[in-house]
């Protein structure tokens, strides 16, 4: 059950990262922090697109992960943000996309390849005490 929940959260995070809209990665990264909130003193410019740009055969927008969003730690209850209490670690390794158009509608199918790892008590103990092998 926790693996399924982590996978759903990870997929939702990926979807949120790919739907930022407007501009290339430089605009997105410079205008927002890792949490997606606009950074102080940054002017966000709204892009205007021509629908005919999307009608070209073979057009498929790039899928990009923001730095810091490719992994998702799940902490023990009451210990959010504490590295010694990570229960699960989900990570995205590869992404894929497939696009199709129908009239003026572009449809994207998005796939992710990743892993959800459970940190056992032994691994957590080794991590806390800097033990390489156990």
Whether residue 133 is contained in a domain is answered as: no
Whether residue 73 is contained in a domain is answered as: yes
Give the dihedral sign, CA 84/87/93/98.
negative
Closest-CA residue to 62 (of 108, 105, 11, 100): 108
**Residue 71 confidence (pLDDT):** 87
Range of the domain at 87: 2-33+44-128
- Mean local confidence (pLDDT), 120-129: 60
The three state secondary structure string of 46-103 is CCCCCHHHHHCCCCCCCCCCCCCCCEEEEECCCCCCCHHHEEEEEEEEEEEEEEEEEC
Whether residue 17 is contained in a domain is answered as: yes
Helix, strand and coil percent figures for the chain, each rounded to 5 = 30, 30, 40
- Does 83 score more than 90 pLDDT? no
Whether residue 134 is contained in a domain is answered as: no
Model confidence pTM above 0.95: no
What share of the chain in percent tops pLDDT 90?
10
User: What's the domain count of the chain?
Assistant: 1
Check residues 115 and 134 and name the one with the higher pLDDT: 115
| 90-116 residue pLDDT tens | 889 899 999 988 887 889 999 999 988
């Amino acid at each position: 059950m926790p693996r399924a929940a982590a996978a759903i959260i990870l997929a939702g995070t990926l979807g949120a990262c790919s739907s930022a809209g407007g501009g290339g990665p430089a605009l997105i990264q410079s205008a927002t922090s890792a949490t997606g909130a606009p950074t102080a003193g940054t002017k966000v410019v709204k892009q205007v697109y021509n629908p005919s740009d999307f009608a070209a055969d073979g057009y498929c927008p790039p899928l990009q992960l923001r730095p810091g969003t490719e992994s998702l730690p799940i902490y023990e209850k009451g210990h959010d943000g504490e590295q010694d209490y990570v229960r699960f670690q989900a990570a995205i390794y590869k992404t894929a996309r497939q696009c199709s158009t129908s009239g003026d509608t572009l449809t994207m199918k998005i796939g992710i390849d990743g892993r959800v790892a459970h940190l056992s008590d032994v691994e957590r103990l080794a991590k806390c005490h800097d033990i390489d092998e156990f």
